[in-house]
Amino acid sequence: MIGRLHNLISILDLTRQDIDLILEHSAKMEQVAIKKSKDLEGKIMACLFFEPSTRTRLSFESAMFRLGGSVLGFADVAVSSAGGKGETLADTIRTVERYADVIVIRHNLDGSARVAAEFSKIPVINAGSGSEEHPTQALLDLYSIKKLKGKIDGISISLCGDLKYGRTVHSLGMALSHYDVTVKLVAPPPLRMKPAVIAEMKEAGLRVTEVDTLEEGLKDVDVVYMTRIQKERFPDVREYDALKGKFRLGLKEVGLMRDDAIILHPLPRVDEIDPEVDSTPQAKYFEQVHSGVVTRMAILKLILG
């Protein structure tokens, strides 16, 4: 990324300077988000959601509208030619690039956003591809940390839950590698982060430890990053039932946290955070939703502005 952002496919494509630039612009967007602007008037964003998503899609749409742009696309592959008529992703992209100024794509296959970017003449933003990458989520997570804790360098963070399949923790882990951060990996044994990923994080200079219990994960950290544990990941449902209660954050567990620690979650949650926790000062996951809008405004502005 020299001068101007073109595609946003993987957190790995960004330098620390790139990330810092995006976070700075996100902070500037706080005011624009309220007052609205016409900076992207006449620009068109195509949302291609091959996999359904409320949050990410609506967040991008809200960001685009606050900058004065327009949105077209599909929320469901069933209503697209790619669904019914067997069109290749390459052909869909080479078609949609004629309709819009930027493509936001979510797809169930790893590498799909990269393929889209290779075929596209217009910028492509990865809104979640397969189980590997969700770079705008990682950027909004970083922005939330910086906004709420005042800094990223020097913080300690626990990544909790499904570290094996969760694409948000993968992207966040890679993003944190640019900073001076202590990371605790908190997962039940079947959902531990893959050794290769841990090795990469350590190589990048992160201080990484692994713990087995949520209790251990909650203590002595600035940020607790919770994720869903999905039933369908377990071959034996009894294994899931045995585990889920142990990775549930309730008021008692919040009591183990530092008073000034914060809880983040990419949402949606199912029952891994008790609703009682929502009213604690540590609960920041709905503020994090707002961070998603300003971060995506910054990304759209940097790409199209």
| Residues contributing to the site for a copy of itself (CB under 8 A) | 35-36, 41-42, 44, 46, 49, 52-55, 58-59, 61-62, 65-66, 70-76, 78-88, 90-92, 94-96, 98-100, 267-270, 275, 286, 289-290, 292-293
Closest contact distance (angstroms) between CB of 127 and a copy of itself is: 14
Assess whether 170 carries a catalytic annotation. no
CA-closest candidate to residue 145, choices 287, 298, 3:
287
Strands 156-160 and 223-226 come out as parallel
Enumerate the β-bridge partners of residue 62: none
Alpha carbon separation from 231 to 190, 191, 207, 243, 275 (Å, rounded):
12, 11, 30, 10, 20
290 as an active site residue: the answer is: no
Q: Please tell me the total number of residues recorded for the chain in this structure.
A: 305
Per DSSP, what are the bridge partners of residue 146?
none
Q: Give min distance, CB of 23 to a copy of itself, in A.
A: 19
| Identified catalytic residue from 25, 43, 106, 178 | 106
Note if 106 is an active site residue: yes
Cβ at position 67, least distance to a copy of itself in Å = 10
Burial of 263 (0-12, 13-18, 19+ CB in 10 A): buried
In three-state secondary structure terms, 276 is helix
Does residue 134 carry a catalytic annotation? yes
Radius of gyration of the chain (CA): 19
Q: Is 4 a catalytic residue?
A: no
**Residue whose entry in the numeric block shows the structure tokens 């869903």:** 228
Find the shortest distance in angstroms from Cβ 109 to a copy of itself: 18
Q: 85, 98, 121, 238: which one is catalytic?
A: 85
Rounded-to-integer distance, Cα 299 and Cα 256, Å? 36
C-alpha closest to that of 32 among 59, 72, 70, 65: 65
User: Between residues 136 and 177, which has the closer beta carbon with respect to a copy of itself?
Assistant: 136
Catalytic pick among 4, 16, 55, 194: 55
* Residue 273 beta carbon to a copy of itself: minimum distance, rounded to whole angstroms: 10
Q: Give, in order, the Cα–Cα distances in Å from 204 to each of 103, 133, 197, 265, 266.
A: 31, 18, 11, 24, 24
Catalytic sites, residue numbers: 55-56, 85, 106, 134
